[in-house]
Chains A and B, each alone.
Chain A
Amino acid sequence: AQTVTQSQPEMSVQEAETVTLSCTYDTSESDYYLFWYKQPPSRQMILVIRQEAYKQQNATENRFSVNFQKAAKSFSLKISDSQLGDAAMYFCAYRWDAGGTSYGKLTFGQGTILTVHP
């Protein structure tokens, strides 16, 4: 069974600084997707960034980037120029790539609460 582990229950960062959230996962599959989701107090899960396992290049989305280490099964999220609106719970998630289609369950980590100080 696939597992996702986030070892940092809480992290904090000063506004405009950079913070990195850690995630490790375990799978015997070779084709899969990894995601970072943000869950603000509004409770809605928002996709931040995704990484296809077959791609060596790390994904980036504006201020958000990942460090994907497939051999080490590590998938960290870097938030640059942190903003007050980045404060939320962040979840790392895994999904097996079922032939390139989007169906299939997401397996989530336990989450990291990110606090941004002004």
Chain B
Amino acid sequence: DAGVTQSPTHLIKTRGQQVTLRCSPKSGHDTVSWYQQALGQGPQFIFQYYEEEERQRGNFPDRFSGHQFPNYSSELNVNALLLGDSALYLCASSVTGAPTEAFFGQGTRLTVV
């Protein structure tokens, strides 16, 4: 079982650009959540996808958007990048309706210069 995989592992972008991060959930998982973790801080919830729809959203601007595909994989898109968007982006997968816990990927380190 490959677990939760995220790509790329590291990324450097210029302010104002757009970025897409990808996540493949653990086998059998149908729900994907995205978190932003600033350096030295705890993760902050961005949003969650289930059945290809955004089910919950945290306090993040519309520049942050996502998508879930029929195979349950997900993308996180960030437009008009700001220096403050530099962070570790974590993806977590889980199973809706089952008493299972979320499994996390190793994250994508995004640096905006």
Contact = CB atoms under 8 A, between A and B. Distances in A.
A46 B106 CA distance: 10
Nearest to A1: B59
A14 B86 CA distance: 35
Contact of B107 (A43, A50, A107): A43
B43 A45 contact: yes
A45 B56 CA distance: 21
B102 A106 contact: yes
Given A43-B107, A44-B105, A105 B96 contact: no
A11 interface: no
B31 A103 contact: yes
Interface stretch (B15-23, B65-73, B77-85, B87-95): B87-95
B43 A103 contact: no
A111 B42 contact: yes
A103 B106 contact: no
A93 B42 CA distance: 9
Nearest to A107: B45
B99 interface: yes
A24 B67 CA distance: 34
Binding site secondary structure of chain A: loop
A112 to B, nearest CB: 10
Q: Classify chain B's interface size.
A: 20 to 34
Interface residues of A, number: 23
Nearest to B43: A108
A101 interface: yes
Given A102-B94, A103-B96, A105-B33, A47 B101 contact: yes
Interface of A: 4, 35, 42-47, 50, 91, 93, 100-111
Interface of B: 31, 33, 35, 40-45, 48, 50, 55-56, 58, 88, 90, 92, 94-102, 104-107, 109
9 contacts: A44-B105, A101-B97, A102-B100, A102-B101, A105-B33, A106-B33, A107-B45, A110-B41, A110-B42
9 residue pairs, one from A and one from B, having the closest CB atoms? A108-B42, A45-B104, A105-B45, A44-B106, A103-B96, A43-B107, A102-B94, A108-B43, A43-B106
